[in-house]
Each structure stands twice: as structure tokens, then as C-alpha cells.
């Protein structure tokens, strides 16, 4: 069984997140994807960050109805700074039958991977999927060769392979010109966010969240 973790602040979750996860799932033959909202993202300032319980509920609303999408509250329950290495260790220790574990991240996150807590060990604990949004004109969309060398990945077939045997795969996904930052600005300005986020999420933000 192939299970992936997709973490982030999800402030708020939007259609770009959901479509990237769906295309990652298809490309990699994933059985389940766990969305893992962070309690406190260590690489982002807390200014403008909605309370964790609201972000968790928005992720639950956004993913309902997709049998391949699950939601984990492990980082919200743990509290404090949410370090990916701790979450990966938790899943490895608690999941039955030791499935193949994957970690999903964006190209911009992979570029910054060496700043993450215990990044070297993280690369050896799980497979990594990096989605690069096709059509996005950003430097982060390029394969950062220096990062591949830094973490000891070797090119093999259509993958990069770590010395632990875990793989790194770059997956091209549809570029949606949507960002959580723009959505928050629209909410603050009283503008519509319909069709940028799922309708249930838009309703929830209108009732409960202030940016």
C-alpha cells in the first residue's frame, strides 16, 4: 500500500492544493493521501495565520467525498512548531503493515529542504514527491541539482534514488494561478473567493474566519 503525507499551513486550503494532490495520486499510484495541517508552521510567520482548529476543519470540508483523501490532526494535537520529521516518524511508528510512505511537497519547499529540521534523516525515512506546477514561471519549478547532490540522490530511470533506497520523483501538475495569500487578501477586502476554494470552505470562512 502506498500512503502519502501532504502537510502545510492550508491557510486556507484551495483548489490548487486539491488538484495537485489528485494529480500526484494518479501519477504515483497512491492509495491514500493524508492532508496534515500544521499547528504552527516553523517557516512562516504567525501573522495572518488562522487558528489551527479552523484550518483543520476547512481541510476536512475540502477533502470530504474523495475516498483517497484523508485528514490527520496529529500536528494540531501535538501543538507547537510542526516539524515534518516528527510527523513522518509518527506515521512510521503507528501505521500497520508498514506501507510505502511518501511525502508530498511543492518545488519551493524542496528548494528549502536543507533548512528543515533533520532534513538528511528525513530524506532517508520516506519517498518524496515534488509537484512542479506546469506553466508556472518560477525558478523553483526547475530541478535544483545542487539539492539532489546535497541529499545524495542518484538518477535512475525516471526517479532519483537515495542511498536508503527511497525515491524522489518530480511530478508535473496543472498550474492554478491561485494562492492562499491572494485569497486572504480578498477575504480581508470583503471580495468573493468563490471558485478559488471549495464552496463549503468559502461558507466556513464567511462564518468563522477573519483575515
- Cβ burial of 21 (10 Å; 0-12, 13-18, 19+) is buried
At 137, the pLDDT band (50, 70, 90 cuts) reads low
At 144, the pLDDT band (50, 70, 90 cuts) reads low
Residue 196 grid coordinates? 478559488
- CA max distance for the chain: 51
Provide the pLDDT for residue 139.
42
Comparing C-alpha atoms, which of 38, 16, 25 is closest to residue 176? 16
SS3 at position 127: strand
Among 22-26, 31-35, 101-105, 108-112, whose mean pLDDT is lowest? Answer: 108-112
Task: Please say if the pLDDT value at position 136 is more than 80.
Answer: no
Residue 183's alpha-carbon distances to 44, 124, 203, in angstroms, are 17, 35, 14
Task: Please say if the pLDDT value at position 96 is more than 90.
Answer: no
Task: Please say if the pLDDT value at position 141 is more than 50.
Answer: no
Strand partners, 168: 128, 160
Calculate what percentage of the chain has a pLDDT beyond 70.
95
Strand partners, 3: 32, 101
Q: Phi first, then psi: give them for residue 147, nearest 5 degrees.
A: -75, -35
DSSP state of 78: H
**Residue of 87 and 97 predicted with greater confidence:** 87
Please tell me the chain's helix, strand, coil percentages from 3-state DSSP, rounded to the nearest 5: 40, 25, 35
The reported pTM is 0.93
At 84, the pLDDT band (50, 70, 90 cuts) reads very high
Buried b / exposed e along 138-148 (16+ C-beta atoms within 10 A): eebbeebeebb
Q: What angle do CA 49, 53, 58 make, to 5 degrees?
A: 85
Amino acid at each position: 500500500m502506498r500512503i502519502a503525507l501532504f502537510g502545510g499551513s492550508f491557510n486556507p486550503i484551495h483548489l490548487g492544493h486539491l488538484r495537485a494532490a489528485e494529480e500526484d495520486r494518479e501519477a504515483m499510484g497512491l492509495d491514500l493521501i493524508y492532508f496534515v495541517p500544521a499547528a504552527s508552521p516553523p517557516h512562516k510567520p504567525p501573522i495572518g495565520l488562522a487558528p489551527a482548529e479552523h484550518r483543520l476543519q476547512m481541510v476536512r470540508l475540502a477533502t470530504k467525498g474523495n475516498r483517497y483523501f484523508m485528514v490527520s490532526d496529529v500536528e494540531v494535537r501535538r501543538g507547537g512548531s510542526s516539524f515534518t520529521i516528527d510527523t513522518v516518524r509518527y506515521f512510521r511508528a503507528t501505521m500497520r503493515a508498514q506501507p510505502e510512505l511518501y511525502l508530498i511537497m511543492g518545488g519551493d519547499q524542496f528548494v528549502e529542504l536543507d533548512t528543515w529540521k533533520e532534513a538528511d534523516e528525513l530524506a532517508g525515512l520516506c519517498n518524496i514527491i515534488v509537484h512542479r506546477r506546469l506553466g508556472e514561471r518560477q525558478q523553483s519549478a526547475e530541478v535544483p541539482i545542487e539539492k539532489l547532490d546535497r541529499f545524495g540522490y542518484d538518477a535512475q530511470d525516471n526517479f532519483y534514488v537515495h542511498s536508503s533506497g527511497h525515491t524522489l520523483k518530480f511530478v508535473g501538475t496543472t498550474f492554478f494561478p491561485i494562492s492562499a495569500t491572494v485569497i486572504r487578501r480578498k477575504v480581508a477586502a470583503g471580495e468573493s473567493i468563490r471558485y478559488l476554494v471549495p464552496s463549503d470552505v468559502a461558507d466556513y470562512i464567511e462564518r468563522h474566519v477573519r483575515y
